[in-house]
Amino acid sequence: MKVVRRAAKRIFTKTKIPRASYVINQYVGCEHACVYCYAKFMCRWKSYGAWGSWVEAKVNAPTLIKGKYVRGRVYMSSVSDPYQPIERKLLLTRRVLANMHKGVRLSVLTKSDLILRDLDVLSEFKDVEVGLTVSGLDRKFEPYAATHEQRVAALKTLSENEMRVYAFISPIIPHFTDIEAVVRETKNFVDYYWLELLNLQACGTKCVRLLESVAPESLKILSNETLLKNYVRDDLKKILEKMNVAIRGIVVHPAASKRRWIVIRRDGVMRPISFV
């Protein structure tokens, strides 16, 4: 793993991610190397090698963040996992959290149970939500992230420690991801869910090839806007109604057009909230 240490000029970056105003990436690049990772586009600007083989660490991030405050929710992180393995050694995420203004409205998302190490500092924030991505996918898709069981256990521990906890079921591969199983395992300690259908435009050739071999029918659905819409409006909606849990939003990425965001209201009626 190539680790590049560098100094950043700024710490908060404006974003269009739903329900967030800023992102913070103390790392760029990710050792978890998920096959479908949408952040691999960063390789266009960073010539360190294949996605998953390098991590850039913004070593001055803990200093840079001192005394800074932004309005609106801050999402950590968009082009890296804040709790990837290198964090055990560098403690960059921990030091950023320690120095961050505790009035910042923070949302942290990870695929690692290392987040439990920082329960003390996370609980100092006035408004914080913590999420674990739980896809139920195997090592072919997620070779180096924490196991599914570790992530579910982390959600439970976070909840037991009175954190506001959400599960991010992503990426959903139609008729392949066992959404019901994931919800059944987590619903007793998760406050709400976000869901996202796999983004075929951003997941890369290797991922598409993998889908061709393990889930060809799902790939057809993801590639066709009508089939995808039917899957969301019929199959997915039915599953979620049956599970009867709080859903904050479903992110859908039609293959041939712009990203679309959809929410499910309490009465189970889906409606688009915005088009970006």
Binding site for ligand SF4 (CB under 6 A): 30, 32-34, 37, 39, 80-81, 111, 145
What is the number of alpha carbons within 13 Å of residue 42 lying toward its C-beta? 22
| Shortest reach from residue 114's CB to ligand SF4, in Å | 12
**Residue 119: exposed, middle, or buried by beta-carbon count in 10 A (0-12, 13-18, 19+)?**
middle
Our CB check for ligand SF4 shows the closer of 34 and 228 to be 34
| Contact between residue 62 and residue 99 where contact means Cβ atoms under 8 Å apart | yes
Q: Which is nearer to ligand SF4, 188 or 205 (CB)?
A: 205
Contacts of residue 5, defined as CB under 8 A and 6 or more positions apart, other chains included, come to: 56, 57, 59
Nearer CB in complex with ligand SF4: 34/108? 34
Which CB sits closer to ligand SF4, 145 or 169? Answer: 145
In this complex, which beta carbon is closest to ligand SF4, that of residue 16 or of residue 184?
Answer: 16
Query: Is the CA virtual torsion 104, 79, 195, 202 positive or negative?
Result: positive
| Shortest CB 26 distance to ligand SF4, Å | 13
CA distances from 89 to 81, 85, 86 (A): 15, 8, 6
Residue 8 Cβ vs ligand SF4, minimum distance, rounded to whole Å: 18
Least distance to ligand SF4 from the beta carbon of 164, Å? 21
Please report how close the Cβ of residue 34 comes to ligand SF4 at its closest, in angstroms: 3
List residues bridging with 251 in a β-sheet: 196, 261
